[in-house]
Amino acid sequence: MSINARATGALLAAILSTTAFHGAFAADDTIKVGILHSLSGTMAISETTLKDAMLMLIEEQNKKGGLLGKKLEAVVVDPASDWPLFAEKARELVSVNKVSAVFGCWTSVSRKSVLPVFEELNSVLFYPVQYEGEESQRNVFYTGAAPNQQAIPAVDYLAENEGVERWVLAGTDYVYPRTTNKILEAYLISKGVKPEDIMINYTPFGHSDWQTIVSDIKKFGSAGKKTAVVSTINGDANVPFYKELGNQGVKAEDIPVVAFSVGEEELAGLDTTPLVGHLAAWNYFQSVDNPANAEFIKTWKAFTKNDKRVTNDPMEAHYIGFNMWLKAVEKAGTTDTDAVLDAMIGVSVPNLSGGYSTMMPNHHITKPVLIGEIQADGQFETVWETPGLVVGDEWSDFLPDSKDLIADWRKPLECGNFNVATGKCGGKGS
């Protein structure tokens, strides 16, 4: 970063903090936590839940006495599903409201939009959603799944347990599905799948007319080999997609669909009877049976005062991220960014699927991978899980230009894209 940018940033921060001195007063007796999730616009459907989950976690922590003897205070802003606005709101949270950490973002494009802000202002972001990988940033902790914690185990499951030999990779047309499908394609070909047995299909955001694509899938599936669909279709488009599958009679027993973006929340708007048996790969399901999860679900239902509310994987990611942050702050004895960044690595907290998750030096965490089948009541039933925990792999081993890269934020390396082949920091993405 140039000195100029730093000076401008400081100047801007100074101006902002004088105009908004209101925020500075309260700073002494509480620790502030920023929540950066869209409460309006397209992504509100998914992100509002995460905002509520964070408010609940903060409330619960305050009941237990807060952090470092101070109460936690949530600062909620609404970036309105508008990607550039994410950067502005992030700047507002850090510079004006002086938050100690920010929990937020959903889409990859919103994360990319705030990255320079967190780097410039040196603050901490916890990102809770499964994403395409190919990134590791000093100020960001990725508590969602990297492709090797979701996509690759799911494909392995289908190949081994269902004997799938032909693959449809269907996704929404943006960075996460495109990168994930690139990784999956390379992985499948490395496993001996022929290129003509892979069909890749992209659709626009909010696509609602799936007739042609579903009939294409049926056509592709009638080549005499067992076929499966790997879906990275995101958000709203899933409901009409599944409705069309159900209506055209594509049964999970014939052509199973495994989805990476469909959780309990997405199924809540859907009659799931025709979908029983279709799959999803996540690191957490509401149906996971253990005391910690039962407690979490109970607290969530009480907090939202709604007995029908469901929990989902990104909520669990926030639960893990928030507890990790608490532990790191306690360990460091301060909320100062540099101290917290150092203390975070190696922190281990219980997750909700019955084990412990640890923050790795690459700022990704260890998680179990679960494959679940959709049930008639809109929940998932775990049919397979990895025997142990899987470490998030930020730079995919299956892409030619990132297979030599690693990230390690411990001293003395402190690099997010270290190239082991050349021995230099600063490969792709610098």
| 161 binds other proteins per the rule CB under 8 A | yes
Report the residue from 12, 27, 45, 186 that binds other proteins according to the rule CB under 8 A. 45
| 203 binds other proteins per the rule CB under 8 A | yes
Report the largest interatomic distance among the alpha carbons of the chain, rounded to a whole angstrom.
Answer: 70
| 223 binds other proteins per the rule CB under 8 A | yes
| 162 binds other proteins per the rule CB under 8 A | yes
| 264 binds other proteins per the rule CB under 8 A | no
Contact predicate 154/258, CB 8 Å: yes
Is 100 or 312 the residue whose CB approaches other proteins more closely?
A: 312
**Beta carbons within 8 Å of 214's beta carbon, 6+ residues apart:** 241, 244, 245, 248, 250
Is 28 or 307 the residue whose CB approaches other proteins more closely?
A: 307
Report the residue from 17, 30, 48, 334 that binds other proteins according to the rule CB under 8 A. 48
Contact predicate 371/154, CB 8 Å: yes
| 247 binds other proteins per the rule CB under 8 A | yes
Query: Regarding beta strands 279-282 and 257-259, do their DSSP bridges make them parallel or antiparallel, or are they unpaired?
Result: parallel
Is 303 or 345 the residue whose CB approaches other proteins more closely?
A: 303
- For residue 317, what is the enclosing H or E element? helix 313-332
Token duo for residue 263: 């959780």
| 107 binds other proteins per the rule CB under 8 A | no
Query: Got the DSSP string for 68-131?
Result: TTBEEEEEEE--TT-HHHHHHHHHIIIIIS--SEEEE--SHHHHHHHHHHHHHHT--EEE-S--
Is 8 or 247 the residue whose CB approaches other proteins more closely?
A: 247
Q: Is the peptide bond before 412 cis (omega within 30 degrees of 0)?
A: yes
Residues in the chain: 430
| 40 binds other proteins per the rule CB under 8 A | yes
Report the residue from 73, 336, 342, 381 that binds other proteins according to the rule CB under 8 A. 381
| 44 binds other proteins per the rule CB under 8 A | yes
Is 69 or 192 the residue whose CB approaches other proteins more closely?
A: 192
Is 8 or 211 the residue whose CB approaches other proteins more closely?
A: 211
| 303 binds other proteins per the rule CB under 8 A | no
Query: Got the DSSP string for 387-401?
Result: SS-EE--SS-TTSTT
CB of 47 to other proteins, least distance (A): 8
Report the residue from 268, 302, 413, 420 that binds other proteins according to the rule CB under 8 A. 268
| 385 binds other proteins per the rule CB under 8 A | no
The Cα-based distances of 118 to 111, 126, 291, 425 in angstroms read 10, 11, 36, 20
| 240 binds other proteins per the rule CB under 8 A | yes
Region of 15-23, 222-230, 359-367, 398-406 interacting with other proteins (CB under 8 A): 222-230
Tell me what percent of the chain is helix, strand and coil, each rounded to the nearest 5.
Answer: 40, 20, 40
Contact predicate 231/262, CB 8 Å: yes
| 307 binds other proteins per the rule CB under 8 A | no
- Pick from 195, 217, 207, 283: nearest CA to 238: 207
| 290 binds other proteins per the rule CB under 8 A | no
Contact predicate 143/128, CB 8 Å: yes
CB of 213 to other proteins, least distance (A): 7
Query: What is the Cα–Cα distance from 215 to 19, expressed in whole angstroms?
Result: 59
Region of 34-42, 86-94, 107-115, 399-407 interacting with other proteins (CB under 8 A): 34-42
Region of 114-122, 125-133, 243-251, 322-330 interacting with other proteins (CB under 8 A): 243-251
Q: How many residues bind other proteins (CB under 8 A)?
A: 58
Binding site for other proteins (CB under 8 A): 39-42, 44-45, 48-49, 161-162, 173, 201-204, 206-209, 211-213, 215-216, 218-219, 221-225, 236, 239-240, 243-244, 246-249, 252-254, 256, 265-266, 268-271, 274, 276-277, 373, 375-376, 381, 383
